[in-house]
Structure 1
Amino acid sequence: MVDVMSHLVRRRKDHTLEAPFYTDPDIFDVDMDVIFGRHWLFVGVEPDVAEPGDVMVVDVGKNSVLILRDDDEEVRAFHNVCRHRGARLVHEEKGTVGNIMCRYHSWVYNTEGELIHAEHMGEDFDKSCHGLKPVHIRSLEGLLFICLADDPPDDFDAMAEIMGPYISPHNIRETKVAYQHDLIEPGNWKLTMENNRECYHCGANHPELTVPLFAYGFGFAPEELSAEERDHADKYAATLTDNHKEWEAMGLPSREVDRLDDMVTAFRAERLPLAGAGESHTIDTRRACRKLLGNLTNAKAGGLHFWTQPNSWHHLLGDHAVVFSVLPLDAEHSLLRTKWLVHKDAVEGVDYDLDNLIGVWMATNQQDSDLVGYCQQGVRSDGYIPGPYSPHTEMLVEKFSNWYVERMKSHLSESRSVA
């Protein structure tokens, strides 16, 4: 078995990780234990389980978790495992239940996870001792996070206190999922996340995404700019400052907050202006949905970027929101799950055209998946050695890698001290 700690200790600052972090099944197993087994993971939105009895299943490695809304409107999460002989309970990703019945021996649980029916178990059998095993779940203004650990990180509230005012104007709870797309990316989950944390590659690879985005919003090398380019960069900086003031006067928190590598439940957010008509992530930069989110009255609310470690990023706009989660499948494959959210009363074909709504990110996701695949092919090679990050455009990739390395080292050090 590979010595994970030795690879972590050797990690060179501001450089990519050594190849085994992207290819080795043993390190993948440690990732699933330490990172995906002990941290808050973004898995969906409250509109996924909009009504009492609605249920959603999310698989995280070997663990299957069912998320449901109980009869009292509370969102709960449980291990998707019958307490009798371990059969999986809910087999479809989405559904609606009155109670949850195991197909094997017909044990029945209510939506609060209590065992309410089990035949032939004898007079001394106590149903109250055999309810579903709960999973920690928290909602951040409608964004759902779970933690599989018995004792989850205790700083979720710190993130929620800061991010709640940023997210709440978009009122995610009062949206619906207009479309969901699952894409299997041919790469390790860390390559998917690293790719997301920079836009160094955007100009050459994302013709659709770069239409609504300003080129200077994601880093650049000042010493390489011409006089004209410097002028454009200065104008963008002034626009950003002006927009932040304008949005915050409207009750839309906008200024950058970056806690990507100094918290356990790490995150980053900033509201950025959009190019062209300035309304949305669409090819024509105009709103994709006529009904705006929450109580917003102006589609020009910019694009709120919200990232969380280890597995999500989100774009909240005036007219819709797009949320992304990454779930590892094995050492070299990952599931990218994307959901497009619109106002719950918006009608497809009347208030929005689905192809227009999803077009930019459907194209961008596939382009990114191809790039991740190229990297996965490369890190398998004997010719791969860790390469340097750009100090101007890949600073946030370094923060992701540093967070990952420090979380792994912390847990492995604790395990060694206990042993």
Structure 2
Amino acid sequence: MNSIKELLNHQQEDWSLDQRFYKDMSIFDLEKHNIFYNSWIFIGHESQIPNKGDFFVYKLLDEEIIVLRNKENKVKAFFNVCRHRGSRVCLEEKGNTSRFTCPYHSWTYNLDGKLLAAKSLREGIEKSELGLHPCNIESASGMLLINLSDNPESLKNLQSDLKEPFEMFGFKDLKVAAHKNYPIASNWKLAVENYQECYHCGPAHPEYSLSHSLKIEDEPGFDEAQEKMMKNLDSCGLKDIEVNKDFSNKDPDQEQYAYSRYALFDGYMTGSKDGKPLAPLLGGIKEFNQGCSDFNIGPVSYFLAYCDHIVGYIFTPTSQDQCQCDIYWLVNKDAEENKDYDKEKLMWLWDVTTYADETIIVNNQKGVNSIKYQSGPYTDKEHSTRRFIKWYLSELKSYAL
């Protein structure tokens, strides 16, 4: 097969991807520009830039984005590229400033991206036309999302349909208690495919499997656990809401998103080692109801919301055969470390689970690299992975054919 078109037409439905999808640089180039530069991606929380002049720099493949709070208290984002000769303008990862000065020739920009000073600029060239390139950024109840496209899909339906779930958990009133980056030596799709299914949870994640009922999804006992959890939603300050607008169900011209809730096993109120609470209750939640919620935003940003904290998972490539998982642990903004929560205990479950996943994913990549690798059939327990792959192939077809 000499072309991407032939490869796409040859791909068998509900089977794992052909080897070339994981190794071909021309396919990765399509993914980079048409998926990662064209999707809304979670990059942090407004609480990370609480004051005017606060900023941080987010990196996505070849691009760097300066995220800041300007003098009008508005969150803005700009490409970290000087309009003179292209140098990086900001070399610090985070900080507070009233302006950005390029280290190359001292072109200086304000917090609205406008060019303030440029020595020896020729007559007739307007500084007003040489501001930093803006990047699309929106806050979804405090959760910061960026999109590098010139024509991004809308977040209007997402903001409307997820308004109640966001309010239930008090997303606006969260803060980042911890953040950790996990490099993974694999193609990014293998990491996302792994996250989408719990077929592997029993053998690979004994810690997770002690508390999370998804381990037995489609097995006896799951429906019973769900029914028990759903009975006390109202008394706990939660609502019975399910939203399914992700992957193949997404609306045209709208970014994809989803929300659902499932049960934890008896004795577990949250994602802790002993099942006991880890932090103060979130938002309007009145008491623990032995459940947790899944949020999906875009193709690579996922959130697991317990009653007392939220874990955000974001998968992005760093190259064709390397990716990373960024995890954010969020708690109520008024919670105090070492008094209301212990950071090590808060991180424990998803830290140990992610390291185990890294091993699984890297071994998967090594097998995919083999001359004997062939596509295999997905099982019924991998329905979310199948939906992700179906969406992925549809996206590639829309750009490649």
Tell me the TM-score normalized by structure 1. 0.90
5 Å-filtered alignment, 1:252-291, equals 252-255=239-242, 257-263=244-250, 265-289=255-279, 291=280
**Partner amino acid for 2:292?**
G
**SS class of match (2:209):** coil
Gapped runs of 5+ residues in structure 2? none
Structure 2 CA distance for aligned equivalents of residues 237 and 262 of structure 1? 24
Taking the aligned partners of 2:15 and 2:136, their CA distance within structure 1 comes to 35
Q: Any idea what SS the aligned residue of 1:59 has?
A: strand
Question: Given the alignment, which residue of 334, 354, 379 partners 2:343?
Answer: 354
Counterpart contact for 2:106–2:118, Cα < 8 Å: yes
Partner Cα distance (1:239, 1:410) in 2: 43
In 1, are the aligned partners of 2:226 and 2:262 still within 8 Å (CA)? no
Q: d(CA) in 2 for partners of 1:93 and 1:62?
A: 16
Report the counterpart of residue 151 of structure 2 in structure 1.
151
Distance 1:146 1:370, change over 3 A: same
Q: 1:275 to 1:100 in 2, by over 3 A?
A: same
1:290-324 deviation per Cα after TM superposition (whole angstroms, max 9, x unaligned): x2222333233731111234211111222111111
Q: Which residue of 1 aligns with 2:17?
A: 17
Whether contact under 8 Å (2:225, 2:263) holds in the other structure is: no
Contact 1:55–1:95 under 8 Å retained in 2: yes
Q: Does 1:411 align with 2:399?
A: yes
1:124, CA displacement in angstroms? 2.8
2:401 is aligned with 1:395 = no
User: Are the equivalent residues in 2 in contact too, given 1:166–1:253 (CA < 8 A)?
Assistant: no
Partner of 1:42: 42
The answer to whether structure 1 residue 385 and structure 2 residue 374 are counterparts is: yes
SS in 1 for 2:36: coil
**Separation in 2, partners of 1:96, 1:6:** 51
Q: Where does residue 77 of structure 1 map in the other structure? A: 77
Q: Which amino acid is the alignment partner of residue 161 of structure 2?
A: I
What is the percentage of aligned positions where both structures have the same residue? 31
Please say if residues 271 and 302 of structure 1, whose CA atoms lie closer than 8 Å, have aligned partners that are also in contact: yes
How much does 1:345 deviate? Answer: 1.9
Q: Which moved more, 1:308-317 or 1:191-200?
A: 308-317
CA 1:46–1:387: 2 relative to 1, 3 Å: same
Stretches of structure 1 lacking an aligned partner (at least 5 in a row): 221-229, 414-419
Corresponding position of 2:364: 375
Q: Cα deviation per residue 1:46-74 (whole Å; 9 max; x = unaligned)? A: 22322221212122221111111112221
- 1:234 Cα shift? 4.5
Alpha-carbon distance in structure 2 between the residues aligned to 1:26 and 1:408? 11
For the Cα contact (< 8 Å) 1:136–1:147, is it kept in 2? yes
Within 1, Cα distance between the matches of 2:261 and 2:216? Answer: 11
Counterpart of 1:185 in structure 2: which amino acid? I
Contact 1:275 1:285 in 2 (8 A): no
Are the structure 2 counterparts of residues 262 and 5 from structure 1 closer, same or farther at C-alpha, using a change threshold of 3 Å? farther
Q: Distance in 2 between matches of 1:147 and 1:39?
A: 6
CA contact (8 A) 1:216 1:236 kept: no
> Does 1:235 pair with 2:234?
no
How many Å separate the matches in 1 of 2:12 and 2:234?
39
Name the CA distance, whole Å, in 1 between partners of 2:2 and 2:341. 51
Distance between the aligned counterparts of 1:146 and 1:301, measured in 2?
Answer: 33
SS where residue 204 of structure 1 aligns?
A: helix
Rounded Cα–Cα distance in structure 2 between residues aligned with 1:95 and 1:4: 44
User: What secondary structure sits across from 1:322 in the alignment?
Assistant: strand
Rounded to whole Å, the distance in 2 between the matches of 1:258 and 1:133 is 31
More displaced, 356-365 or 48-57? Answer: 48-57
Q: The residue matched to 1:335 in structure 2 has which SS? A: strand
Q: 1:216 to 1:186 in 2, by over 3 A?
A: closer
1:299 paired to 2:299: no
